[in-house]
Amino acid sequence: MISVSIFRMFHVSPAMLTGFYVLLAACGVLARTLPPRLRRAFLALAGLAFVARFFSATMAPALAALALLLWRVCDGGETLDARRTLAAAAVVAFGLGPACFGGFFAGYTHGHVRLQDLLTVMFLANMLKKSVYYVYERRAGRARSPAAGDFLAYFFALPFTVGSVIFAPSEAASRWEARSRRDDLLSGLRTLALAALHAGACWLLIRGGWTRAYDEQFLARAAALRWWQLWLIFVSTYVGVYLHRYALDQTCVGAARLLGWDVRGNYDWALFPADYADYWRRWNIHFRELLMALFYYPSALRLARRRPGRRETNLIAACFVTFAGAAVFNFVLHAAFYRPGFGAAYYNLAVRLALYEGFAWVMVSAAGIAEMRRRAAGKPEPGRWRRAAGVAITLLLRAGSVPIYLTDVPGLSWTVPVRLIAAAFGVPFRR
Amino acid sequence: MSAETTVERVRRCLRRCAPQAPEEALAPGAPLFDNKVLDSLTTVELALLLEREFGVRVRAADLSRERFGTVEAIARFVESRARTEP
């Protein structure tokens, strides 16, 4: 039977999720009895308790060192000596971190990737992204030097131990208890319910009715599959990835809302974008905003001032800078937290990231230029049928890039994903 | 410069870079990003128009939801920038 999944990553840990929900419910009740100034510190302590329960004990020294470094970075963001901070960050990320975490992550001691391993990677990656956000906002005058409670809450509060939501520090501060508790409660519960539905759908798609497929098994059978079977696999894998990411991230958002942060959602009907640029606007919104702030707006503004007449090439160049920045971010994070050098060698990480981000760069630039031309010509928004066609094409484009993320095959040539994509268009595939 | 005048001038800039935006989406307190009036393309265009209209310098770090989220917020931003950058 054909499996619909070519990834190994969707192994939910019921113990971990149950633990999270129990702790969340307890915190939801307890936090309301505490005075406001203690509430956020309490939620940070709950987050640390969760980390201590489910993450490896060897993480403690690295986590403490990382926290101290982050505190220094956030506290002195405006006047920070960039060279010394980068050196310290490199020691923590590439030295102390992998020494404590190496070999534990990503399930290579378990035979497949488990959710709790994935969460550990995401949690640490988020801390690094958040520290970059903090420095950026401090330098831009958008965030103030944090009080200890704010700092702990931003990095360690219970909701942020799951998912990959990395909203801006200024937003975290302004949206804390911005609404009534009743609104927060209702909104949080609604979001958590939706996240649970997505998690259930993901579980059904990946486990229900189909055999669990691993990359090796998939590749062994790929040559025998027809083009439409490959497309079925790619599309359902992409939908599975979406359901999985939505479930995790919106669990974080729902939990945050429940506990007092009116955090914006990280997905906005991301399965139904009208074109590739629209997809990028709707998927992992918080990280996208960081990339926009760090890479897109500075380059787009500079180019627009220097060469105002070349709008289309300016857009292509600004998008290139943005996706190159995204690739560097992901490369550092992956390479830092698997093992020193391990991520780069084992996964062909650099090539895979270049392929993936390069594909996104071309697609987003093309969609942006089309949108620019439509507006310049004064044409109306696309009608219903055209929009439906755009949604279908974008879905296929997204699904078509799935083979780039074939991860768990040692020594896999970077040409294999490319040849798999070609096979979906009828070119015979040979491993 | 009066606050009302600034709001009107900001709306004029917005109409130029997003001519298809409905009038109610340009109400002073309406969320420009959520209403899809501003996106990555129009935000950069608007920044340049504001620079020309008000003679202020807009930095990339200014293009945030807090400062560009509504017409009112933009008006407040250009007024404060005009005061600090005479």
CA of A395 vs chain B CAs: smallest distance (Å)? 22
* Pair (A232, A361) in one structural domain: yes
Region A202-215: mean pLDDT is 58
pLDDT in tens, A286-301: 999 999 999 999 999 9
pLDDT of residue A33: 85
Domain boundaries, chain B: 3-84
Lowest mean pLDDT among A146-155, A185-194, A238-247, B60-69: A146-155
- Is A7's pLDDT higher than 70? no
- For residue A380, being part of any structural domain is answered with yes
Asked whether residue A181 is domain-assigned, the answer is no
Q: Are residues A46 and A123 in the same domain?
A: yes
Count CB neighbours of B27 within 10 A. 15
Q: How far apart are CA A181 and CA A204, in angstroms?
A: 34
As a whole number, mean pLDDT of residues A193-197 equals 93
**Per the CB < 8 Å rule, is B66 touching A170?**
yes
* Contacting residues of A for B20, CB less than 8 Å apart: 375, 380-381
CB contact under 8 A, A297 and B63: yes
How far, in Å, are A128, A146, A303, A305, B62 from residue A315 at the CA level? 28, 36, 9, 13, 19
Number of domains within chain A: 2
Distance from CA of B2 to the nearest CA of A (A): 25
Query: Which ranges of A157-284 does DSSP label H, i.e. alpha helix?
Result: 169-174, 181-207, 215-222, 227-258, 276-282
If asked whether residues A205 and A325 sit together in one domain, one would say yes
In the structure, what pLDDT confidence band is assigned to residue A179 with cuts at 50, 70 and 90? confident
Cβ(B36)–Cβ(A375) under 8 Å? Answer: no
Q: Domain residues for A376?
A: 188-423
The two tokens of residue A337 are 């937290």
A156 within some domain: yes
**Same structural domain, A71 and A128:** yes
Yes or no, beta carbons of A368 and B66 under 8 Å apart: no
Helix A349-376 with B40-54: angle, nearest 10 deg: 60
Residue A202 shares a structural domain with residue A316: yes
| CATH superfamily for domain B3-84 | ACP-like (1.10.1200.10)
- The residue-averaged pLDDT of A401-409 equals 72
- Hey, what are B50's tokens? 């504001």
Q: Which residues of chain B have a Cβ shorter than 8 Å from any chain A Cβ?
A: 19-20, 39-41, 43-45, 47-48, 58-66
Do A399 and A321 lie in a common domain? yes
Average pLDDT over residues A323-336: 82
Q: What is the mean pLDDT of residues A311-327?
A: 95
Residue A159 has what DSSP assignment?
Answer: G
Helix (H) / strand (E) element for B81: namely: helix B71-84
The predicted pLDDT at position A12 comes to 53
Average pLDDT over every residue of B12-18: 92
Instruction: Evaluate whether A6 touches A218 at the Cβ level (below 8 Å).
Output: yes
DSSP line for B16-80 = HH-TTS-GGGGSTTS-TTTTTS--HHHHHHHHHHHHHHH--PPPGGG-SHHHHSSHHHHHHHHHH
* ipTM (interface pTM): 0.92
pLDDT in tens, A90-147: 666 666 665 555 444 443 444 444 555 566 777 777 888 888 888 888 888 888 777 7
User: Would A406 be classed as within a structural domain?
Assistant: yes
Least confidently predicted of A189-198, A245-254, A343-352 = A343-352
Q: How confident is the model at residue A49 (pLDDT cuts 50, 70, 90)?
A: confident
Residue A392 pLDDT greater than 60, yes or no: yes
Q: Are residues A46 and A122 in the same domain?
A: yes
CB nearest to B44's CB, from A141, A301, A380: A301
- Among A166, A196, A219, the domain boundary falls at A166
Which residues in chain B have Cβ-Cβ distances shorter than 8 Å to A378?
Answer: 19
